[in-house]
Chain A
Amino acid sequence: MPIPSHLTSAAIAEFGREIEAIRNEVMDSRGERDARYIHRLIKVQRCMALSGRLVIYASLALLPQWGHAFAAWSTFWPAIALGTLMLGCAKILENMEIGHNISHAQWDWLRDPAIQSGSWEWDHVCPSDQWKHSHNVKHHTWTNVFGKDADVGGYGLLRMFSYQRWKPFNLFNPLWALLLAILFEWGIAIQELELGRVAKGRVTWASLRPMWLKTREKMLRQVLKDYILFPLLAGPLFLYVCGANAAANIIRNLWTYLIIFCGHFPMDVHTFTKAEVENETRPRWYIRQLLGSCNIGGGKLFHIMSGNLSHQIEHHLFPDMPSNRYPDVAPRVQALCVRYGLPYNTGSLSRQFGTTLLRIFRMSFPGHSTLLDGYPGKGSPA
């Protein structure tokens, strides 16, 4: 969908000024309350990770083989499931509301050396500095621009928009999407390597080697921790712990995939061509961020568990604003959009993910979808 053409350049510039006024006001008001939020959240997350792991070990005492009064499958499974869920939630918090946002420099202003964007390493198989390049630089600067933002191109794996050329490979779109969801952290880790370009011969494997060695080191350390060291503590019951940790990682993968796919793929989201963003001014960049992102409605806990990426629009307008401020800012941005006649794509989780699923299925087949991507030709990127 093209940029709405009813706004004059002057109106767009004014919109940009108003967006910046909101940003400056919020950034100037950062203080004690925000610092307490992130410090407390980090504490809660670490306690939750620790207690999740402890519950997993404790649940092993309920295995039927021990023969005591409570030893039965019917007590064991709920107990280990609880521990796994706690660990999964801790990993979700670490990756989204903590790691992702710290890496965006949202908390650099605290000047706490322990939570700086330059040094934070997250609990994820992708090394933070590589992720910051593919995410902060490519995705956030070139949001939804085909050929620039790997995310909008379905991570080089999926066909997500009518403007992508259909290949027979796309017939299995839903299958690839499911696999990507289950293995999401691994997908993100190898995304930066852009293996597709190696296959096409545009870059040599040798030039990727230093980056690969770094990624491999991170992957090995993560695997060592979750699938070898912690399970070894359980001795002969190794496999139970290993399985629980794997399940926790998959819970995290599925949830992050769900939230992130709702950010840029629901119905009515806009995409752009390289030609459209040539000589783009900063106010136009704001408009593109607005049109290319989608919010998800929900309660306070939902927003925290989604790393406030449920406020994807605000996150893209103000990527380095502390995420706990997005809920306050969202109604102001939405009101501004009403005033300027700009769309503000927000909806329930079922609407946003439902239309994303629809997209995954529809794009398996060739052709243009007017329902999902509007009428072709009117400035469409194809």
Chain B
Amino acid sequence: MTNVRAALTNLADMFAYPLRHSHYLELVNPLWTRHVLKARVEGVWDDTGDTRTLTLRPGRGWRDHRAGQFVRLGVPVDGKRHTRTYSISSAPSRADGCITVTVKAIDGGRVSQHLARKVKVGDYLPLGEPQGEFVLPDAMPVHPLFITAGSGITPVMSMLRGYLGEFDVIPDIAHMHYAPHALDVIFGAELRQVAASQPHYRLHSFFTRDGDSHFSAAQLEQSCPDWREREVWACGPAGLLDAVEAHWDQAGLARQLHVERFHAKEASPPADGVTRGKVFFMASQVEAPSDGATCLLRLAEDAGLNPPHGCRMGICHGCNTTLVSGCVRDTRTGALITEAGDTVQVCVCTAVGDAALAL
């Protein structure tokens, strides 16, 4: 049966060549495509003053997520696509086939501001496959301790909702959650409601700007005395996760700890005056020293590589490659390119400090 389907798809693609038949299905409904995965925004809901939950309907080809996983979401801001990762906050296998992500608008964060303020129902957003190992084991019954702060609640919310969908009375769960104020708690009402109705779910909230302290050993002893027997899932800002990791390391229980960290995608350019650095060419596994003035194409050639190129003056785009990490400068405009995955024209760009390229 799958063979017949594949043959039919191939035949349909021959008619659509050089496109694929799915490019034409996209005209009717963007969710029917196979060549890209998109999601339709079905609803927006403001959880707190600066947090919004988007309900997304993934298109054909979506595979269900496991509670705790994240997705890459494409966000067009002023036409340009930015890709960010967000934990899925809904339970797996929802009856309506939708997922939710919960986005906190970060001060000065153009992408999160756009997602939390501008995206509207009916928009289509490019979506990635669900990814990540921050999940509850399938088979083993566990008694988890969740330690979350701020929007770090999102993957854990998916786990909680998963449990609630599966059991009338959910198993023994301890949860320590940190937020600046009581009003800032994302899913606050839902968490309180679960805590009130589920006898084995114990929620300990800490409001760090209303007098409570940040994570400490004493706090842990007090809220969850049996923490040594529990497996731990922690998600939140780097400060919290560092403290949690240090504590479990010290106790020799690091194996019981699962941590989800989200890294900033953009490299910050090095301090003024830094020019010299090292350029790493990933595909060739070659490193070359850079003086900050020689173009990347020359660096590669001097290092013995022969990358594709054409005009050597920035017009033909034959030498385009992608930035893996670090920072480069377009010598024509002086503009800095700092976002991993951005296109780099190596014939007119120089490295600013260290950089890695896909070449």
Q: Is the CB of B315 within 8 A of A117?
A: no
- B interface residues (Cβ-Cβ under 8 A, vs A): 14-15, 17-19, 23-24, 27, 35-36, 76, 78-82, 310-311, 313, 315-318, 320, 332-333, 341-343
User: Quick one: closest B residue to A224, CB to CB?
Assistant: B14
Q: Is the CB of A229 within 8 A of B35?
A: no
Identify which of B36, B78, B333 contacts A24 (C-beta below 8 A): B333
Decide yes or no whether A276 CB sits under 8 A from chain B.
no
Q: Is the CB of A141 within 8 A of B80?
A: no
User: Quick one: closest B residue to A124, CB to CB?
Assistant: B18
- Residues of A in contact (CB 8 Å), total 44
Q: Is the CB of B81 within 8 A of A46?
A: no
Decide yes or no whether A274 CB sits under 8 A from chain B.
no
Contacts A/B (CB < 8 Å), 26 sampled = A30-B78, A35-B79, A36-B79, A46-B23, A46-B24, A46-B27, A50-B24, A105-B320, A108-B317, A108-B320, A108-B343, A110-B76, A110-B79, A110-B80, A111-B341, A113-B36, A114-B35, A137-B316, A140-B315, A141-B316, A224-B14, A224-B17, A229-B14, A229-B15, A285-B313, A319-B316
Q: Which residues of B contact A46 (CB under 8 A)?
A: 19, 23-24, 27
Q: Is the CB of A105 within 8 A of B317?
A: yes
Decide yes or no whether A104 CB sits under 8 A from chain B.
yes
Which residues of A in the span 218-269 have a Cβ within 8 Å of any Cβ on B? 221-222, 224-225, 229-230
- Indicate whether A141 sits within 8 Å of B15 (C-beta atoms), given known contacts A117-B320, A118-B320: no
- In whole angstroms, how far apart are the Cα atoms of A47 and B23 in the complex? 11
6 nearest A-B pairs in the assembled complex, by CB-CB distance:
A35-B79, A137-B310, A105-B317, A136-B316, A121-B18, A141-B311
Q: Looking at the assembled complex, report how far the CB atom of B120 sits from the nearest CB atom of chain A, in whole angstroms.
A: 14
Q: Is the CB of A221 within 8 A of B14?
A: yes
Q: Is the CB of B315 within 8 A of A319?
A: yes
Q: Is the CB of B316 within 8 A of A140?
A: yes
- In this complex, which of B35, B315, B333, B341 has the most chain A Cβ atoms within 10 angstroms of its Cβ? B315
Which residues of A in the span 179-204 have a Cβ within 8 Å of any Cβ on B? none
Q: Looking at the assembled complex, report how far the CB atom of A242 sits from the nearest CB atom of chain B, in whole angstroms.
A: 15
Q: Which residues of A contact B27 (CB under 8 A)?
A: 43, 46-47, 50
Identify which of A35, A113, A141, A221 contacts B315 (C-beta below 8 A): A141
Q: Is the CB of A112 within 8 A of B81?
A: yes
User: Quick one: closest A residue to B320, CB to CB?
Assistant: A118
Q: Which residues of B contact A132 (CB under 8 A)?
A: 316-318
Q: Is the CB of A282 within 8 A of B313?
A: yes
User: For chain B, what secondary structure do more than half of its interface residues adopt (helix, strand, loop), or is it mixed?
Assistant: loop
Q: Which residues of B contact A109 (CB under 8 A)?
A: 79-80
Q: Which residues of A contact B311 (CB under 8 A)?
A: 136-137, 140-141
Q: Is the CB of A31 within 8 A of B79?
A: yes
Q: Looking at the assembled complex, report how far the CB atom of A367 sits from the nearest CB atom of chain B, in whole angstroms.
A: 35
Q: Is the CB of B316 within 8 A of A20?
A: no
Decide yes or no whether A133 CB sits under 8 A from chain B.
yes
Q: Which residues of B contact A117 (CB under 8 A)?
A: 317, 320
- In whole angstroms, how far apart are the Cα atoms of A105 and B348 in the complex? 15
- In whole angstroms, how far apart are the Cα atoms of A20 and B332 in the complex? 9
Q: Mark A20-59, 1 if CB is under 8 A from B, else 0.
A: 1000100100111111100000010011001000000000
- In whole angstroms, how far apart are the Cα atoms of A108 and B15 in the complex? 27
- Indicate whether A123 sits within 8 Å of B18 (C-beta atoms), given known contacts A111-B81, A133-B318, A282-B313: yes
Q: Is the CB of B317 within 8 A of A104?
A: yes
Identify which of A43, A113, A320 contacts B317 (C-beta below 8 A): A320
- In whole angstroms, how far apart are the Cα atoms of A132 and B315 in the complex? 11
- Indicate whether A114 sits within 8 Å of B79 (C-beta atoms), given known contacts A140-B311, A141-B315: no
Q: Which residues of B contact A47 (CB under 8 A)?
A: 27
Q: Mark A277-320, 1 if CB is under 8 A from B, else 0.
A: 00000100100000000000000000000000000000000011
- In whole angstroms, how far apart are the Cα atoms of A224 and B15 in the complex? 9
